[in-house]
Amino acid sequence: MDNKIIYIKLKEGCKPIEYFRNSFDERKNYYYNLSSNAENELEISKACIDSSYFLIALIHDNDKIIYSYLGTGTISHNDKGFSIKFNIKSKLNYGTAIKNICKLSELSLSDDFGKDEYVLKEESELIAKQIDFIINKPFEEKSKGQRYENIDSENGLAVLAQRNEYCERAYNLRAPMQHRGEFQRDYERIVHSKAFRRMVDKAQVFSASKGDYYRTRMTHTQAVSQIARGIAEGLGLNMYLTEAIALGHDIGHTPFGHQGERTLDSILQGKFNIIKNVGSFTGDLSFGGFKHNYQSIRVATLLEEEYTEICGMDLSYQTLEGMLKHTKLKRDNYSLDQFISIDLS
């Protein structure tokens, strides 16, 4: 495939996006027909036919990228002209990965694409390597199934305690280390996350004033972590896993304490028509409500930008399940897989 890359610029809502979506959902090849203008832009000649490319479809709204599809493609020709046969392997929101690709390529939707131009071609070894990792490495890691080994620091744990060798992740992006357990990695990833730092200014109990004893979501989390660690130590449980769950359990919480959560829950159930006077909006305001433990999982698996390869922090299923179950669930049937941002099935 060398280092050849094709960029396709598509406006949100246009018909061709459906083909890229179907290719990703069905894991099948689809065709994207090129106009005569695009043929000139790509400098297509007979020598280009059947050449393989990395493909990036940038979905934008007023030249602002909102998400993208990544895959591979080949240029073909028939009696109707040139087309790209493509297979989409990954869908990414406009997070760290796409920002890095655009930065490396110095790509600007408004400057590099003309008014009627929607396809560009370039060669870059650096960008090709990054795209190759994004679209191929997670699948390889998922299919082979990472196996973790027992580590010496866990030898004194109780029989039913979770151990390093039981760890499961969605992606397994980093190689295991003997001196650093997987649940320790979870703990450290949460501590260094932006969502964790944001808890400093979130009130634990809503109050109109601040003082020396003002309690924030961060001070609450630190207290929970200390108590949880003491209990885990006494019962012979995995303390890194316990602390990771304790530190991450509220990263999706609202400001203004539980009153803020209850208010947002009511809004998202459609009980308060807070935008009734805004424009001509006539849609359904009910989005199923809000629960901070579900939002914590969403932050950990989708919103946090920790890596260029994936969305989220790639926390273990054990840590995620502990975060999800620290308070009662709204429904009995749930699956952590629904929170993973990229479908690897």
pLDDT value at residue 129? 77
State the DSSP code for 213.
T
Which of 35, 220, 8 lies closest to 120 in space, CA to CA? 8
- Choose which CATH entry (3.30.565.10, 3.30.870.10, 1.10.3210.10, 1.10.287.3610) describes domain 152-254+290-338: 1.10.3210.10
* Angle of helix 317-324 versus helix 182-191 axis, rounded to 10: 60
Contact 341, 302 (CB under 8 A): yes
pLDDT value at residue 36? 62
pLDDT value at residue 142? 46
pLDDT value at residue 251? 92
- The domain locations on the chain are 4-136, 152-254+290-338
What DSSP string describes 22-66?
Answer: HHHHHT--EEEEPPHHHHHHHT--GGGTT-EEEEEEEEEETTEEE
CATH class of 4-136: alpha beta
Token pair recorded at residue 120: 């560009």
Contact 249, 296 (CB under 8 A): yes
List the 119-123 sheet strands across, edge first. 30-33, 81-93, 64-78, 52-61, 4-11, 119-123
Give the Cα separation of 329 and 288 in Å (integer).
13
pLDDT value at residue 34? 77
State the DSSP code for 77.
E
Strand partners, 6: 55, 121
Token pair recorded at residue 203: 């009130």
Query: In the chain, which stretches have pLDDT less than 50?
Result: 139-144, 278, 341-345
pTM over the 0.75 mark: no
